[in-house]
């Protein structure tokens, strides 16, 4: 899980949910000219999120992928779709990025104090 904070967006943001780090990661990948080759990729977070350059945009069981322009477009979609989201919302992205993709990107919007470790079923519950 990529930690998201309002400060990552720069400037003032009305967003309480954290999405800006993810958007920024997409932009960093898309703006790095060394990524302008098929199958360039980066891995993020403890869950091995992979963002990869590929001729066609999409989501699959391996990566979020697309051309550099596609990844920039996805970053804008993420920003725009979450601009009105509230904690507790789930935002689904598929058709506007990759209509023929077998998967969709689901962004679960959480409060700033959300601890992803508490939601991980693979970690032992140390409460109580």
Identify the bridge partners of residue 66 per DSSP, sorted by sequence position: 53
- pLDDT surpassing 90 at residue 118: no
pTM equals 0.77
Residue 86 included in any domain? yes
Render pLDDT for 59-113 as a digit per residue (tens, 0 to 9).
999 899 999 999 999 999 999 998 889 999 999 999 999 999 999 999 988 888 8
Domain span holding position 109: 6-119
Q: For the chain, how many structural domains are there in total?
A: 1
Chain mean pLDDT for the chain: 80
Residue 127 included in any domain? no
Residue 11 included in any domain? yes
The CB density around residue 18, as the number of other CB atoms within 10 Å, is 23
Going by C-alpha positions, the residue among 10, 32, 107 that lies closest to residue 64 is 107
Alpha-helical runs (H) found in the chain: 20-31, 68-82, 95-98, 116-119
Residue 84 included in any domain? yes
Residue 34 included in any domain? yes
Token pair belonging to 24:
């920024």
Residue 128 included in any domain? no
Residue 94 included in any domain? yes
């Amino acid at each position: 899980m990529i930690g998201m904070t309002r400060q990552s967006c720069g400037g003032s943001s009305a967003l309480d949910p954290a999405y800006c780090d993810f958007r920024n990661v997409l932009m960093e990948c898309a703006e790095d000219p060394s990524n302008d080759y098929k199958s360039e990729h980066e891995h993020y977070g403890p869950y091995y999120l992979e963002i990869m350059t590929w001729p066609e945009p999409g989501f699959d069981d391996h990566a979020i992928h697309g051309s550099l322009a596609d990844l920039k477009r996805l970053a804008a979609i993420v920003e725009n779709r979450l601009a009105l989201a509230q904690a507790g919302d789930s935002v689904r992205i598929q058709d506007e990025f990759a209509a023929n993709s077998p998967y969709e990107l689901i962004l679960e919007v959480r409060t700033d104090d959300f601890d992803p470790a508490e939601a991980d079923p693979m970690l032992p519950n140390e409460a109580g």
